[in-house]
Amino acid sequence: MYTFNIKTKDRFEIVNIDSFIREAIESSGVHNGALIVFCPHTTGAITINENGDPDVKIDMISAFNRISPELSEYRHFEGNSHAHVLSSLVGASEHIIVNNGKAVLGTWQSVYFCEFDGPRNRKIHIKVLGQ
C-alpha cells in the first residue's frame, strides 16, 4: 500500500491526484491488474471527473454547496456536517483498471481528492493489485 499526503488550502477544494496514481503503479511493478484509491477521512472523498476544463471543478464545488449547504440545521455540533454528508454521497474510494502499467481512464478523466472541510493535512491510500 502506498500513502500520499495532501495539504489542502481551502474549505472546499478538488485536487488532481493522477501523479499519485502513476507513482503507485510505477513503484508497484504491476503491469496488469487494478488499483484502489481510498480516502480514510470522513470529510473528504475520491472521484473521477473531467480534467480538460477547469470550470468543471468550480461547477462541482457550486453543486456541492447546493446539495449540502454549510450553514444548515444539522444536529452534529462541530460545524462540518455538510462535509460528512458530501463525503458519503461522493464516496471514499475508486477502483481503476491497470493495463500495460497505466491507469485506464477516459481521454478527459482524472482522479480527484475532494476536500469538504479544509484546510487540512490529508492522506490518500493506494493499493495496486495484479501482476
Indicate the pLDDT class of residue 93, thresholds 50, 70 and 90.
Answer: very high
Q: Tell me what pLDDT residue 78 has.
A: 83
Q: Tell me what pLDDT residue 100 has.
A: 98
Distance CA 24, CA 18 (A): 10
Whether residue 72 has pLDDT greater than 80:
no
Q: Is the pTM of this model over 0.75?
A: yes
Provide long-range contacts, Cβ within 8 A and 24+ apart, for 83-89.
83/42, 83/43, 83/44, 83/116, 83/117, 84/42, 84/43, 86/43, 86/45, 86/114, 86/116, 87/39, 87/41, 87/42, 87/43, 87/44, 87/45, 87/114, 87/116, 89/45
Domain residue ranges in the chain: 2-130
pLDDT tens for each residue of 13-54:
999 999 999 999 999 999 999 999 999 999 999 999 999 999
CATH superfamily of the 2-130 domain:
YjbQ-like (2.60.120.460)
The more confident residue out of 33 and 70 is: 33
Mean pLDDT in residue range 91-107: 99
Whether residue 4 has pLDDT greater than 80:
yes
Distance CA 15, CA 68 (A): 20
Whether residue 77 has pLDDT greater than 80:
no
DSSP state of 100: T
